[in-house]
Amino acid sequence: MTRFVGRTAVVTGAGGGIGTAIARRLASEGAHVVVCDAVASTAASTVQEIVGDGGSAEAAVFDVASGAEVAAFAVRVLEDRGLVDVLVNNAGINRRGALLDLTDDDWRATMSVNLDSMYHLCRAFLPAMVDAGRGAIVNTGSQWGLHPAPGHIAYNVSKAAVIAFSQSLARDYAPAGVRVNVVCPGEILTPMVEANLATKGIPVSDLAAKVPYGRLGKPEEVAALVAFLASDEAPYLTGSAVEITGAQAVS
């Protein structure tokens, strides 16, 4: 498919897992992808994969939780590309624990990376989208933002806020032709999840047994959903929180 030929996409948290899959999918459909990550080596690795597949990409390394760094990044990209057609806010962290197990730093870091980053990036790129009368923003939420998991209060609350933020943004800027949606993945088999299970000695099959569909999701499946939501095939889809959970959210 060539749904993004001639378009520019910015993807945060694109140095691994779901973010890498999203960046690769958009590039495979013709987008020039700005691969954003806090770690230079992982951003470079994703760019290398995209270019190796014949796509177009560049790396950008900055702190998504810093308004100043995001603003400086946005100025560079907009000067170079003119317009960011697709913004995918995917960067996120998960500080585990119930309320009394968390530190103040755990709470602040979770909100800064998972929520404040979206505020900074949307503030930076939305004006050009409004001026152009078009643009697509896809934010990464979580099924836990809709159905909280025990022992993850900071993450749950941050992702619930991401959903509210996305729907508020969608309502405010629909008249300007800008669409905003949020994807809410369930259990996805990313390298980080796989490593965490291995550290705990938990087989992947044990986690998969909790999913009615019988397996964990794949990063590429989330990427396919993001690409659809960002494409011209979904012109009336905005303000939606789309779950991709293998029916786990309703089990």
Give phi and psi for 242, each to the nearest 5: -100, 115
What is the residue whose two structure tokens read 């008249």? 175
CA 72, CA 193: separation in Å to the nearest integer? 32
What residues are annotated to the active site? 155
The sign of the dihedral angle between the CA atoms of 76, 227, 191, 185 is positive
Closest CA to 187 of 165, 152, 219: 219
Instruction: Check if the beta carbon of residue 8 is closer than 8 Å to that of residue 85.
Output: yes
Give phi and psi for 18, each to the nearest 5: -60, -40
CA 77, CA 204: separation in Å to the nearest integer? 40
Instruction: Check if the beta carbon of residue 3 is closer than 8 Å to that of residue 233.
Output: yes
Q: Which two tokens stand for residue 97?
A: 């624990």
Cβ-proximal residues to 14 (8 Å cutoff; 6+ apart), any chain = 20, 22, 23, 33, 35, 36, 37, 43, 46, 90
Instruction: Say if residue 148 is exposed, middle or buried (CB neighbours under 10 Å; 0-12, 13-18, 19+).
Output: middle
